[in-house]
């Protein structure tokens, strides 16, 4: 990657990935775009363009203007929001991806777009979910992700576009507030633990989902994009995960540092049904073998870092 265009640069992943890539590849070599403009570091620290990803002509013009060789396409509606607005989700998630693929095809760019464990469904094997397995999601978000995986494969085989992608689990970050995902409880819980010493989970007890701390997610994106293309067999749908836990386990980890933290439950039927359709734990073997994926953070290490970064002053650091 020499010059990169990022769509959805003010979102959960983009807001951190853009700054990280500017550190590595140079400030002027990472062009951030989003449908809105803020006073954030992403906007202030380097080139920024307003972009509605459903506008194919404008996306092409911006990419051509900046002479990019790589597109990181992140703009999308997340799972819970997509269920509330399914037609908007289809038009944005799929329309934006088609425009990004067409831009990449016309300008000979490499393209990354994230998939998700949402691409799996209730008939997918729940435990140690294989890289290649049945995918019959029952959510609009999941349908978008499966369609996106297939579409990226098509552009690779049909047009030779160097498309790459990861099936992300829930992503946990201290930088960007939750944005409509089913796994957002695992972010909200840390904020509420510090602020109020209690949290009401909309996901029920015993519900396991794969998760990853954002530093590992950023490293995975850049690791995949820098990987030798000849060694990639799956390209657009690598399973990646760092940990799998249920709400009780993350609460127990927080209680090690905030002993009077209390977890309550008020289950949201929509998000619970989405969570129930996803795997408990996925198998990341293909990512490890094909391009060296490795996660550095487990639940214990992540919890310590989250609490410190969010300003908790009395963290009990243990050996």
Closest CA to 105 of 150, 63, 165, 166: 63
313 is written with which tokens? 């002053």
| Phi, psi torsion values for 104, nearest 5 degrees | -65, -40
141 is catalytic: yes
Cα torsion angle, 35, 38, 40, 42, sign: positive
Closest CA to 45 of 19, 71, 77, 81: 19
Query: What radius of gyration do the chain's Cα atoms show?
Result: 19
Taking the C-alpha atoms of residue 189 and residue 184, their distance in angstroms, rounded to an integer, is: 9
Taking the C-alpha atoms of residue 127 and residue 282, their distance in angstroms, rounded to an integer, is: 6
| Residue 113 contacts residue 7 (beta carbons within 8 Å) | no
Taking the C-alpha atoms of residue 25 and residue 309, their distance in angstroms, rounded to an integer, is: 25
- Decide the pairing of beta strands 127-129 and 70-73: unpaired
| Residue 42 contacts residue 18 (beta carbons within 8 Å) | yes
Q: Residue 177: which residues within 8 A CB-CB, separation 6 or more?
A: 187
| Phi, psi torsion values for 201, nearest 5 degrees | -85, 135
Which of 141, 155, 156, 185 is labelled catalytic? 141
Closest CA to 229 of 163, 286, 285, 167: 163
| Residue 277 contacts residue 123 (beta carbons within 8 Å) | no
The residue with tokens 């016309």 is 106
From residue 45, give the alpha-carbon distance in Å to each of 21, 27, 35.
Answer: 12, 7, 18
Residues labelled catalytic: 141
């Amino acid at each position: 990657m020499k010059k990169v265009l990022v769509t959805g640069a003010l979102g959960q992943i983009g807001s951190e990935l853009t700054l990280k890539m500017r550190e590595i590849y140079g400030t002027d070599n990472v062009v951030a775009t989003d449908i809105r403009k803020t006073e954030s570091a992403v906007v202030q620290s380097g080139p920024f363009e307003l972009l509605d990803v459903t506008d194919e002509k404008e996306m092409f013009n911006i990419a051509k203007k900046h002479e990019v060789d790589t597109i990181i396409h992140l703009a999308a509606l997340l799972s819970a929001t997509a269920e509330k607005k399914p037609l908007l989700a289809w038009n944005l998630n799929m329309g934006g991806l088609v425009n990004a693929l067409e831009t990449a095809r016309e300008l000979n760019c490499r393209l990354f777009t994230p998939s998700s464990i949402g691409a799996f469904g209730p008939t997918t094997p729940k435990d140690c979910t294989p890289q290649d397995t049945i995918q019959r999601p029952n959510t609009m978000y999941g349908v978008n992700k499966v369609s996106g995986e297939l579409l990226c494969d098509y552009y690779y085989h049909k047009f030779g576009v160097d498309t790459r992608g990861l099936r992300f689990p829930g992503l946990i970050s201290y930088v960007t507030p939750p944005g409509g995902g089913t796994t957002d409880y695992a972010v909200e819980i840390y904020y509420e633990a510090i602020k109020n010493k209690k949290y009401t989970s909309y996901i029920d007890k015993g519900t396991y989902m794969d998760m990853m701390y954002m530093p590992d997610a950023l490293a995975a994106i850049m690791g995949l994009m820098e990987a030798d293309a000849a060694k990639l067999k799956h390209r657009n749908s690598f399973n990646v995960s760092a940990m799998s836990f249920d709400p009780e386990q993350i609460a127990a980890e927080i209680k090690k540092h905030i002993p009077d933290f209390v977890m309550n439950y008020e289950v949201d039927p929509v998000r619970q049904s989405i969570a129930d359709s996803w795997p408990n734990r996925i198998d990341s073997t293909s990512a490890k073998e094909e391009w060296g994926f490795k996660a550095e953070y487990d639940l214990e290490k992540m919890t310590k870092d989250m609490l410190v970064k969010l300003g908790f002053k009395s963290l009990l650091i243990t050996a």
